[in-house]
Amino acid sequence: MIQRLRFASLAAVSGFLLFVAAWSPHLAKGQDAVLAEPAAGEVEMKVEKELIENPMESKLVQVDWIEEMFEGGLTMVALAILSVGMLAFLLERFFTLRSGKFMPPALLKEVRPMFHERRYDDILAACKKHPSTASEIIRHLVEFRGTNFDVLQSGAADIGARAVLDQEEKCNPLSVIAGIAPLLGLLGTMIGMIEAFKLVEVFGDEGGASLLAGSISKALITTAVGLILAIPALLGYHWSRRRVHTIAGSIEIESESLLKDWFLSRK
């Protein structure tokens, strides 16, 4: 768990530094543009004149989404960190939530003959080679082999339940990201709208509609990015929860099979 948290933290910090390095030139460019806003009316008149003379030019206008993201402000930095964290948690869930990691077929196949031969040292050695939920259950059976069947069954069930609960808790960061990302995007939009109307208050009609539209466009990009992050995070959360439930069923079935083989080997 600690290693996974270190990996996610390192990935988030790296993404933050890379984003800030790439975003800094655009920040300076954005500041220069604000200083030059009083002449925005002339730009608007020039653009309108060009569109009137060449109406087909309006069809060639395309949105540079990468540029818009860089213009999103400091909120985009937080969203970039969230995106790195989301990717790290998605990859961790994808590679972890496999039935073979909890109930390795190789371990089960290796130890079952040892039950009947009562080679307890070899069973424990095999468990060390395949650390998993199955190895913990088998180790429990060996260490408490002198107790009755009900105690062994209860202990095996507790081990499986703890493993499932631990995996369910590790899915929660994706749910948190799915909830925070749109809120951060909305916060960035609100900040951008406030700045947009502040520009109108300062420059009045000098900037025209282009001044307000440009600022609002930059503000709305944060909400769009927040939703883009929230959708895969929410899908990943529900997928990983479903995988945990599937693995829980696999653990239950294999645990019952192990207990049955163990009980038969004791006769």
Q: For the whole prediction, is pTM greater than 0.85? A: no
pLDDT of residue 33: 40
Query: What's residue 31's pLDDT?
Result: 39
Q: What pLDDT does 27 receive?
A: 40
Element at 73 (helix H, strand E): none
- Distance CA(39)–CA(203), nearest Å, equals 10
For residue 65, the model assigns a pLDDT of 58
Residue 104 CB-half CA count within 13 A = 17
Q: What is the reported pLDDT for 104?
A: 92
C-alpha separations of 241 from 75, 167, 236 in Å: 30, 8, 8
C-alpha–C-alpha distance, residues 108 and 100, integer Å: 11
**What DSSP designation does 147 have?**
S
| Amino acid 23: pLDDT | 45
- What per-residue confidence (pLDDT) applies to 1? 44
Q: What is the pLDDT of residue 196?
A: 78
Task: Give the per-residue pLDDT at 64.
Answer: 60
Q: What is the pLDDT, as a whole number, of residue 194?
A: 83
For each successive 10 residues of the chain (267 residues), what is the average pLDDT? 46 46 43 41 47 48 61 81 94 90 91 88 92 93 86 91 94 95 91 79 65 72 91 96 94 90 78
pLDDT given for residue 43 in this prediction? 42
Question: SS3 for 63?
Answer: coil
Rounded (10°) CA dihedral 118, 121, 125, 131: 70
Q: How far, rounded to the nearest angstrom, does the alpha carbon of residue 61 sit from its chain's CA centroid?
A: 34
The tokens describing 160, both together, are 């499986």
| pLDDT of amino acid 245 | 94
What pLDDT is stored for residue 22 in this prediction? 44
